[in-house]
Structure 1
Amino acid sequence: MTNTTAIAAYWDAAAPGFDDEPDHGLRDAETRAEWARLLDGWLPPGPVDVLDVGCGTGSLSRLLAEVGHRVTGVDLSPRMVERARLKLLAGGLTGRFLVGDAAAPPTGGERFGVVLCRHLMWTLPDPSAALRDWVGRLGPGGTLVLIEGRWGGAGSGSPYAAGAGALPWHGGVGSGELAAAVRPLVADVRIEPLSDNALLWGRPVTDERYAVIARV
């Protein structure tokens, strides 16, 4: 088991420097443009309600709000959520950001056109339950977008919170395993490899990075 208070404290401490990573802060114009291009291809056309689970500092939320989507972001870290709010405000954009468990977002019975998750699955004590929860929040024809990976060297250092080393997907999850977990819950699944797109990461990478896009 993991301690949510300790986990929130870990990400609170990480928040000030979180955007220093090229794919977190999206400060480089080419990196921003490449993420925007991919999101545009994964999401349905026209403004939709998007639930960004584990939104961090809100960089993807901001990209989505810039093209008119109605974004709700959820993160366990209050400091991450505050930075996400400020990021959208600085761009003259609107979005809703909530402090809460991304595996069971505090949005009641609301339904969304898209649930988006990036680099979160490795932190979850019960990823299968989280996937069922997220799919249950999608309206008819909704889209689940999971941007994930199995990162080189991940899991070799100290765990980020007590007990984290025992998490089912600590260190990441391969595309085949994640797609297999999603497939019984949805009507259609595809995998898009992302490792060979250095623009997304600000550098070349050699580990497995990908997106699973599923529709209900």
Structure 2
Amino acid sequence: MTDSSAITAYWDAAADDFDAEPDHGLRAAGTRDAWSRLLTAWLPPDPSSVLDVGCGTGSLSALVAEAGHRVTGIDLSPRMVDRARAKLSAAGLPARFLVGDAAAPPTGDERFDVLLSRHLVWTLPDPGAALADWTARLRPGGTLILVEGRWRESDGAGGGYVAGAEALPWHGGVTAADLSAAVRPLVTELRVEPLSHAPVLWGGPVTDERYAVIARV
């Protein structure tokens, strides 16, 4: 099994080049606009508090803040958090970023209207416990947004992730069916939106399973 220091070191090392991936940096206008449209459709119409867990360099946090929401980003990697703070500061966008375990965010008893997570649950040693923690942080009627996929079936190795990662319950990603089954007992409403068919989101065509689970507590 992986340990937190190894995971932190992995993502710290990845921070410098993280935004080079089209769906990470959202540097292409078409990709950025496509993600912005998705978030607009998923987020409440009124200004809301949004917890972005596993925020990375803050690209989605920036879109959330641009839409007028109050965003808090959490990431285990201090270097990722540094880049997220710098990104939103340069754009003149308000946000709060904290270094901490995304599976148990260091926000105390604070409750949020939305919890957003993208491509994170496959890295968690106990995804069921994290999902229970996340839904408990939402206010009644709050929204859980999980952008996930089973995108590493072709190589099976998780792209050279930290030692012991093969023991993770959802190593290599998680199918929509499996994630929905884990989330459904925790929520009152749930739907799945397939995302594999939209190459603009990923910087090109993909052949693996990518989707969003949108749920309400």
Normalised by the length of structure 1, the TM-score is: 0.98
Distance of 1:159 and 1:11 partners within structure 2: 12
Supply the AA of the counterpart residue of 1:103.
A
- Paired residue for 1:146? 146
The answer to whether residue 216 in structure 2 is matched with residue 211 in structure 1 is no
Q: Over residues 173-194 of structure 1, what are the superposed CA-to-partner deviations in whole Å (9 max), with x where a residue is unaligned?
A: 0001100100000000000000
Q: Over residues 77-113 of structure 1, what are the superposed CA-to-partner deviations in whole Å (9 max), with x where a residue is unaligned?
A: 0000000000000100110000000000000000000
> Are the equivalent residues in 1 in contact too, given 2:158–2:172 (CA < 8 A)?
no
Supply the AA of the counterpart residue of 1:63.
L
The answer to whether residue 182 in structure 2 is matched with residue 181 in structure 1 is yes
Q: Any idea what SS the aligned residue of 1:146 has? A: strand
Distance of 2:140 and 2:69 partners within structure 1: 17
Matches within 5 A, 1:8-87: 8-87=8-87
Aligned length: 216
Distance of 2:18 and 2:157 partners within structure 1: 20
- Paired residue for 2:165? 164
CA shift at 1:159, angstroms?
4.3
> Are the equivalent residues in 2 in contact too, given 1:187–1:214 (CA < 8 A)?
yes
- Paired residue for 2:93? 93
- Give structure 1 stretches of 5+ with no counterpart: none
Distance of 1:38 and 1:56 partners within structure 2: 19
Distance of 1:128 and 1:172 partners within structure 2: 14
The 1:125/1:179 distance shift into structure 2, 3 A limit, reads: same
CA shift at 1:156, angstroms?
2.6
CA RMSD of aligned residues (A): 1.0
Supply the AA of the counterpart residue of 1:57.
T
> Are the equivalent residues in 1 in contact too, given 2:157–2:166 (CA < 8 A)?
no
Structure 1 runs (4+) deviating above 4 angstroms are none
Distance of 1:130 and 1:9 partners within structure 2: 21
Q: Over residues 19-75 of structure 1, what are the superposed CA-to-partner deviations in whole Å (9 max), with x where a residue is unaligned?
A: 000000000001000000000101111110000000000000000001110000000
Q: Over residues 96-154 of structure 1, what are the superposed CA-to-partner deviations in whole Å (9 max), with x where a residue is unaligned?
A: 00000000000000000000000001100000000000000000100000000001425
Distance of 1:13 and 1:161 partners within structure 2: 12
Q: Over residues 147-167 of structure 1, what are the superposed CA-to-partner deviations in whole Å (9 max), with x where a residue is unaligned?
A: 000014253366411211100
Distance of 2:159 and 2:207 partners within structure 1: 22
Distance of 1:72 and 1:177 partners within structure 2: 28
> Are the equivalent residues in 1 in contact too, given 2:196–2:208 (CA < 8 A)?
yes
